[in-house]
Amino acid sequence: MKDEKQNQQEQAAGMGLRVRRVWTLALATTTQLVRMKMLAFLVLFCMLVVGAGFMFSVVNPEQQLALIKSVSLGALQVFSIVIGIVSTALLLPKDMEDRTLYTILSKPVPRLEYLIGKLLGVLLLVGGGLIVMDAVLSAVIYARQDAVLAEALHALEMDRQATPEVVARLEQTVAAQGLTWNMHWAVWAIFLKATVVTTMALLLSCIASSTLFTIVVSFCAVIIGHGEALLREFFFHPHLSGTAERGASMVLAMVVPDLAQFDILDGVVEGQMVSWGALADMTGIAALYVVGYLTITHLVFVEKEL
């Protein structure tokens, strides 16, 4: 009984030590990326959102708020994917050039922990940037929501159309297009997509010897991942039977992630509700991609000569 309890304590201590090592690597990676000025896009985004909040002079309040969300969420998606790919592509070559990689692996740090720490560090940077930008966007939407409603009510009063029914319908429309939880769920979907793309870029960086190759192939995979439905429709559907088409589609989705599964931005901009089931499905799909890509990355990295 005493030996079993001691073994459990040793396993718990070992697990805690591994978690601390991974977390230390993640924080060091985030600090390294910040020093590489990877957050310059964050400043540009904040300027874009603040400008977009006062740029669009559209009479229809629904269109005005939808334009702000569309432009801002699109910029969020670009930020997360660009930062995820470029940061990941630079990390391994940078560590090898500075000989940081050899220093880390010479200590009792397994290669899997090194990979998880690097991936987590990039995701901390991306996630932190998304949280900041989500807060800025929420503040702008909240401020413009009241201003747009006031302008629209004033226009109705000038046209003598401010009946209780029209005013109630206008308030409902502005509320649906204003600050809602749906916008935060869209940011979560953007983070999930960036997580999948970043993990894929990590795999490519372990296979390739060129940073440029990793970046170019990763962006090509992102383009293909957004258009897999078109590829299936034009190449698989006319030439393959039902079973063969499903098999080919599955292979394509495993090789290149089907990023369209995380695209809920258009629906959010239009004011549609995002269900809990859709959020759970996206999160589960992202987790499967991350585990799969990280497993293959570890197998490649273990055999890689450093």
In-domain check, residue 290: yes
Q: Kindly tell me if the per-residue pLDDT of 73 is higher than 70.
A: yes
In-domain check, residue 6: no
**Residue % of the chain over a pLDDT of 70:** 72
Task: Name the residue type at position 147.
Answer: A
The predicted structure's pLDDT at residue 74 = 84
Per-residue pLDDT, averaged over 165-187, amounts to 75
In-domain check, residue 11: no
The predicted structure's pLDDT at residue 122 = 93
* Three-state secondary-structure class, residue 207: helix
Q: Kindly tell me if the per-residue pLDDT of 284 is higher than 90.
A: yes
In-domain check, residue 9: no
Q: Kindly tell me if the per-residue pLDDT of 115 is higher than 80.
A: yes
- The Cα 77–Cα 262 span in angstroms is 11
In-domain check, residue 271: yes
Domains: count for the chain: 1
Burial status of residue 156 (CB atoms within 10 A of its CB: 0-12, 13-18, 19 or more): middle
| Crossing angle for the helix pair 61-97 and 111-158, to the nearest 10 degrees | 160
Highest mean pLDDT (candidates 50-54, 156-160, 257-261): 257-261
Q: Find out whether 70 and 55 touch, Cβ atoms under 8 Å.
A: no
The predicted structure's pLDDT at residue 203 = 93
Q: Kindly tell me if the per-residue pLDDT of 157 is higher than 70.
A: no
In-domain check, residue 2: no
Q: Find out whether 41 and 82 touch, Cβ atoms under 8 Å.
A: yes
Domain enclosing residue 286, as ranges: 17-303
In-domain check, residue 12: no
Q: Find out whether 90 and 198 touch, Cβ atoms under 8 Å.
A: no
The predicted structure's pLDDT at residue 202 = 93
In-domain check, residue 298: yes
Kindly indicate the confidence band of residue 100, based on its pLDDT and cuts at 50, 70 and 90: confident
Kindly indicate the confidence band of residue 48, based on its pLDDT and cuts at 50, 70 and 90: low
Q: Find out whether 52 and 67 touch, Cβ atoms under 8 Å.
A: yes
Task: Kindly state the tokens that stand for 258.
Answer: 């089907």
